[in-house]
Chain A
Amino acid sequence: MDVIESALRQGLGADAIIFALAAIGLNVHFGYTGLLNFGQAGFMAMAGYGLAATVSTFGLPFFVGILVGLGATVVFALLLGVPTLRLRADYLAIVTIAAAEIVRLTVGSVTLKDWFGGRDGLQAFTGTFRDLNPFSERTGFGWLTYRAYDAWVILVGWGLVVLRCLIVWALMRSPWGRVLKSIREDEDAVRSLGKNVYGYKMQSLIIGGLIGSLAGFMTALRQAATNPDDYFTEVTFFAYTVLILGGAARVLGPVVGSILFWFLINLLGGFFTWATRGDDPLMPTWLMTSNQASLVRFIIMGLALMLLMIYRPQGILGDRKELALDAR
């Protein structure tokens, strides 16, 4: 029972928010425009480190840090978009994944330790955010409670998620959003109608990246620290799993996907930890030790991503007709 409670708490907690935001950004890229951005972790890192370095290294105010983070994300999107948006989809995938690794290796390097803190990352940049916290004690409903700071992070986080969902909803029913969707379906047809496909793709990359940057801010604020490993390539892949689970090209797809994903991941993790704990565990030790227990959920996750993509590419909420992934 504890396992389920804890999994529910995680399913509504900070991880779910971060991946919901990252996946909403990917939804704009991949779900609506058909851009294969495999470097969402890079966008998140630009934002997280933009904020942390501005406040912690250069001593500027918190909100300047937020602006720097957003600015860095836009620059990153432009740098990625210029060389690749004219090329085939898989080129964008390779370049974005490479760029995200460049960012991660650079901020984690000893050479730039004075700026970004190397492997230790940066701390002490959340003062202003902490001061704004209206909660002073454990907050929540019934058994679903969080520590004061976590509650504040979660409140702000879900607020941002709702806001982003509204924005995406509004954007995608506008004429601009319809152009994006038609680019996804048939780029050449849109071009022949006189639309500047390259420009639209670039705008989509920037907007999705900015939404992803909020996930980067939340990652940094959640643990009051940044660390290069928070922005590992797998973060992007998890965000894809979240998106495809919930349903791409649906406004609420990423949100549903993220809650369900983190609920299931923690449920599985909790179950296998419980099953391998103690002197006489439920699971025979030749099959699984407690060290291995934490890995099973990721194995299942990889398998789930494969099977989802094969048998139900539209996810839970999606519409198979809308998402013509087979366009190329």
Chain B
Amino acid sequence: MRVRISAFLALLMGVLFVAGTALPASAAAPSQATSMASAPDELAIRGTLIDTTDRDNPEPVEGVTVTVTDSDDNEVGTATSDAEGVFSVPVPGNGKYVVEIDTDTLPDGTFLRNTEDVNKEVNVLGFSSTVQFQIGPDNRDTTSTAERAVELFTSGLLFGLILALASLGLSLIFGTTGLTNFAHGELVTFGALAAYAMNVNGGLPLVLAALLAVLLSALFGWLQDTGFWRPLRNRGTGVIAMMIVTIGMSIFLRYLYQYIFGGDTHTYSSYVTQSSLTIGPISVFPKDLVSAAIAVVVLVLVSLALAKTRIGKATRAVSDNTALSASTGIDVDRVISVVWIVGTGLAGLAGVLLGLSQQVEFQMGFKILLLVFAAVVLGGLGTIWGAMLGSVIVGILIEMSTLFIPAELKYVGALVVLIAVLLFRPQGILGRAQRVG
């Protein structure tokens, strides 16, 4: 058994290392190219003056004088905007500069949006900086609260559905084994990184890469259970000890991902930008629509499987009472193995979709881990339908809360709800009212 765990860990490191050493060779090339392209030949402060009085038909403003002074009040240079409204003032080096627009040179009928805004501070740090002066009245698209609410509801729903995939996996594993898996976020990241590696480094089309990534995640889950968690269960390692093991695994995997893929964010090679579709009051990216559809189909399929199939019923029986279901002849180890395969597969799919709607990064899963916990606790820890319901609620709540609180605090709102739920209804929405302590 001891041999089995060590062998699993060695295998895991080996596989990831081979993947890692194979990757940077191809990954390094594009990053070098981009840094070459963006290498500045000469530092400058640039800007484009556009009159937005007519919103649909913005006009460049020509012949406006702009003066740049350095932090000691010495004039560095002046420039006049050309026919495209573009100006560029070369600067000698890094530092703080003040850009002043000469309002007298503005053509008749044009004016600064904010008349006091004639000076702008610019910090030049190694590359050319852009400065923006707003010209024309403030007629930005002011969406009404109702429109914004609909928009936020849509994005919240999508996020909630992705969250539901991750939560369902966590909840299934918790239900059958009692393990609170703090490394579940890393399983989400695994899917996204696998899809990214096959898509960008392997050159596969994204759909195929995504499919393979989900399969690979499922395989990873099976390996984890067979090679690692089952031996631990058999030797009688306690649930709390295993919880701390998952923390070690979370740290191990997260830094291994960073080791292999670096600390920056990545995007898939296709479907990065899309023009949005408008359906009634909602405008949505086609890729998000497809993601939502995939998530819904998968969630429905898993639910049906849990409700109707033999193995699904066995899973719920094991969740309910492991000892009793073992004594009725259910092969508990096999059920748990299937649960790990399905659970990590779902987590991997969540990662793939999250990478599509946001970006791929080594700690993307860790960042949503607490939201997954919040969702699962809200729905009822270990309940299967509750995890999905909780996720959708948390997703919508996070986005909708930005109507009332600053966007940077939206995760705080969700976490406060998590604590409030435990205070008033610890069993969650769908959990049975029983002693949980």
- Residues of A participating in the B interface, judged by any CB pair closer than 8 Å: 34, 36, 82-84, 86-91, 93-95, 97-99, 101-102, 105-106, 109-111, 234, 237, 240-241, 244, 286-287, 289, 291-292, 295-296, 298-299, 301-311, 313, 325-328
Tell whether A237 pairs with B251 under 8 Å between CB atoms, given A36-B240, A83-B423. yes
Instruction: Return the chain B residue nearest A118 by Cβ.
Output: B408
Neighbour of B377 across the interface among A94, A286, A303, CB < 8 A: A94
| Bound complex: CA A287 to CA B18 (Å) | 10
Q: Are A91 and B247 in contact (CB under 8 A)?
A: no
Nearest-Cβ distance from residue B243 to partner chain A, whole angstroms:
7
The answer, yes or no, to whether B415 is at the interface (CB within 8 Å) is yes
Name the A residues within 8 Å of B21 (CB-CB): 286-287
* Interface secondary structure of B, over-half rule: helix
Neighbour of A82 across the interface among B5, B232, B262, B423, CB < 8 A: B423
| Bound complex: CA A326 to CA B233 (Å) | 11
Tell whether A89 pairs with B255 under 8 Å between CB atoms, given A106-B409, A306-B248. no
Instruction: Return the chain A residue nearest B418 by Cβ.
Output: A98
Tell whether A105 pairs with B251 under 8 Å between CB atoms, given A87-B426, A327-B238. no
Provide the B130-156 mask, 1 if CB < 8 A to any CB of A, else 0.
000000000000000000000000000
| Bound complex: CA A292 to CA B408 (Å) | 31
| Bound complex: CA A308 to CA B9 (Å) | 14
Q: Are A99 and B415 in contact (CB under 8 A)?
A: yes
Interface residues of B in 368-392 (CB under 8 A from A): 370, 373-374, 377, 381
Name the A residues within 8 Å of B437 (CB-CB): 86-88, 91
Tell whether A109 pairs with B258 under 8 Å between CB atoms, given A287-B21, A299-B252, A326-B237. no
Q: Are B415 and A295 in contact (CB under 8 A)?
A: no
Interface residues of B in 399-437 (CB under 8 A from A): 406, 408-409, 411-412, 415-416, 418-419, 422-423, 426, 436-437
| Bound complex: CA A328 to CA B408 (Å) | 38
Neighbour of B412 across the interface among A83, A84, A91, A102, CB < 8 A: A102
- Residues of B participating in the A interface, judged by any CB pair closer than 8 Å: 2, 5, 9, 21, 24-25, 180, 232, 236-241, 243-245, 247-256, 258-259, 262, 370, 373-374, 377, 381, 406, 408-409, 411-412, 415-416, 418-419, 422-423, 426, 436-437
Name the B residues within 8 Å of A95 (CB-CB): 418-419, 422
Tell whether A305 pairs with B251 under 8 Å between CB atoms, given A86-B437, A90-B180, A313-B241. yes
Q: Are B373 and A94 in contact (CB under 8 A)?
A: yes
Nearest-Cβ distance from residue B309 to partner chain A, whole angstroms:
29
Name the B residues within 8 Å of A302 (CB-CB): 248-255
Instruction: Return the chain B residue nearest A198 by Cβ.
Output: B437
Neighbour of A109 across the interface among B259, B377, B406, CB < 8 A: B406
Nearest-Cβ distance from residue A303 to partner chain B, whole angstroms:
5
Neighbour of A105 across the interface among B24, B377, B409, CB < 8 A: B409
* Interface secondary structure of A, over-half rule: helix
Name the B residues within 8 Å of A84 (CB-CB): 422
| Bound complex: CA A109 to CA B25 (Å) | 39
Q: Are A97 and B370 in contact (CB under 8 A)?
A: yes
Q: Are A304 and B248 in contact (CB under 8 A)?
A: yes
Tell whether A296 pairs with B251 under 8 Å between CB atoms, given A84-B422, A110-B406. no
| Bound complex: CA A309 to CA B176 (Å) | 22
Name the B residues within 8 Å of A303 (CB-CB): 9, 248, 252
| Bound complex: CA A36 to CA B239 (Å) | 12
Nearest-Cβ distance from residue B290 to partner chain A, whole angstroms:
31
Q: Are B180 and A94 in contact (CB under 8 A)?
A: yes
Name the A residues within 8 Å of B245 (CB-CB): 305-306, 309-310
Top 9 A-B pairs ranked by shortest CB distance?
A: A302-B252, A326-B238, A305-B248, A302-B251, A306-B248, A83-B423, A87-B437, A298-B255, A98-B415
Neighbour of A286 across the interface among B25, B238, B409, B419, CB < 8 A: B25
| Bound complex: CA A86 to CA B422 (Å) | 10
Q: Are B422 and A328 in contact (CB under 8 A)?
A: no
Name the B residues within 8 Å of A310 (CB-CB): 5, 232, 237, 241, 245
| Bound complex: CA A134 to CA B398 (Å) | 51
Q: Are B409 and A325 in contact (CB under 8 A)?
A: no
Neighbour of B238 across the interface among A109, A240, A292, A325, CB < 8 A: A325
| Bound complex: CA A298 to CA B437 (Å) | 35
Name the B residues within 8 Å of A299 (CB-CB): 252, 255-256, 259
Q: Are B406 and A305 in contact (CB under 8 A)?
A: no
| Bound complex: CA A99 to CA B406 (Å) | 19
| Bound complex: CA A111 to CA B402 (Å) | 13
Nearest-Cβ distance from residue A217 to partner chain B, whole angstroms:
24
Q: Are B236 and A296 in contact (CB under 8 A)?
A: no
Instruction: Return the chain A residue nearest B258 by Cβ.
Output: A295
Most buried by A among B24, B253, B411, B415: B415
Q: Are B241 and A325 in contact (CB under 8 A)?
A: yes
Instruction: Return the chain A residue nearest B238 by Cβ.
Output: A326
Name the A residues within 8 Å of B243 (CB-CB): 36, 90, 93
Nearest-Cβ distance from residue B51 to partner chain A, whole angstroms:
31
Most buried by A among B24, B244, B374, B406: B244
Nearest-Cβ distance from residue A279 to partner chain B, whole angstroms:
18
Q: Are A295 and B240 in contact (CB under 8 A)?
A: no
Instruction: Return the chain A residue nearest B241 by Cβ.
Output: A325
Tell whether A111 pairs with B252 under 8 Å between CB atoms, given A91-B426, A98-B415, A102-B415. no
